[in-house]
């Protein structure tokens, strides 16, 4: 839950966006209402309208922030490509469960259930990540078909574990991540 700021502290656009991501992750897209946001952040409607023209512009800012986050992720994935495949997969898993990523991921996936624009953004992000994970499995030595299947299973398990975790700290437990990686890299013969 986002901590309320003292009344004398001026809120930023980012404060409002973080409050929105928290609401999305905890209560879903229907919670995105000016009143709920004001209560979440401890501010007035006037403060909201100081930063955003209306709820549509606020939602657009949430998607834009998510897209900026994805752009950083794309750069991160490209830099990981130089790592050996096992280390690359491990680094991808660690990134997915980082505290900031955990909250954004949960929030956007929840919102995507009811909002077509959010859903398309999530699908685009998923396609990019699946390609990167499949490439790592191919580089490890699996056939393209097996690499794709392992990527999909790793991705599905990772998203499931992300949503089962009650907090970012729980999501960051290394043992389940590494055990999943061991299972996915095991030679079936």
Q: What is the pLDDT of residues 108-146, one digit of tens each?
A: 888 888 888 888 888 988 888 899 999 999 999 999 999
Average pLDDT, the chain: 83
Q: Is pLDDT at 79 greater than 60 in this prediction?
A: yes
Rounded percentage of the chain residues whose pLDDT exceeds 90: 34
The C-alpha atoms of residue 16 and residue 125 are separated, in whole angstroms, by 23
Q: Is pLDDT at 177 greater than 60 in this prediction?
A: yes
Q: Give phi and psi for 10, each to the nearest 5.
A: -75, 130
Per-residue confidence at 8, pLDDT binned at 50, 70, 90? very low
User: What b/e readout covers 128-162, taking b as 16+ CB neighbours within 10 angstroms?
Assistant: ebeebbbbbbbbbebeeeebbebbeebbebbbebb
Q: Is pLDDT at 35 greater than 60 in this prediction?
A: yes
Q: What is the pLDDT of residue 107?
A: 80
Q: Which of 57-61, 93-97, 102-106, 179-183 has the highest mean pLDDT?
A: 57-61
Q: Is pLDDT at 7 greater than 60 in this prediction?
A: no
Comparing 156 with 102, the larger pLDDT belongs to 156
Q: What is the DSSP letter of 29?
A: G
> Largest Cα–Cα distance in the chain?
65
The Cβ of residue 84 has, within 10 Å, a number of other Cβ atoms equal to 11
DSSP string, 80-139: HTTS-HHHHHHHHHHHHTSHHHHHHHHHHHHHHTT-HHHHHHHHHHHHHHHHHHHHHHHH
């Amino acid at each position: 839950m986002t901590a309320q700021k003292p009344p004398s502290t001026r809120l930023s656009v980012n404060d409002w966006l973080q409050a929105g991501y928290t609401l999305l992750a905890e209560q879903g897209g229907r919670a995105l209402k000016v009143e709920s946001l004001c209560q979440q952040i401890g501010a007035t409607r006037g403060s909201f309208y100081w930063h955003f023209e209306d709820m549509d512009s606020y939602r657009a800012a949430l998607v834009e922030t998510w897209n900026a986050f994805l752009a950083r992720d794309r750069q991160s994935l490209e830099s990981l490509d130089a790592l050996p495949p096992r280390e690359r997969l491990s680094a991808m898993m660690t990134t997915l469960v980082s505290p900031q990523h955990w909250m954004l991921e949960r929030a956007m996936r929840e919102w995507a259930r009811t909002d077509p624009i959010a859903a398309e953004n999530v699908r685009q992000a998923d396609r990019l990540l699946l390609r990167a994970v499949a490439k790592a499995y191919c580089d490890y030595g699996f056939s393209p078909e097996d690499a794709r299947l392992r990527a999909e299973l790793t991705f599905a398990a990772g998203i499931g574990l992300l949503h089962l975790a009650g907090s970012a700290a729980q999501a960051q437990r290394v043992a389940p991540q590494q055990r999943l990686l061991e299972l996915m890299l095991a030679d079936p013969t």
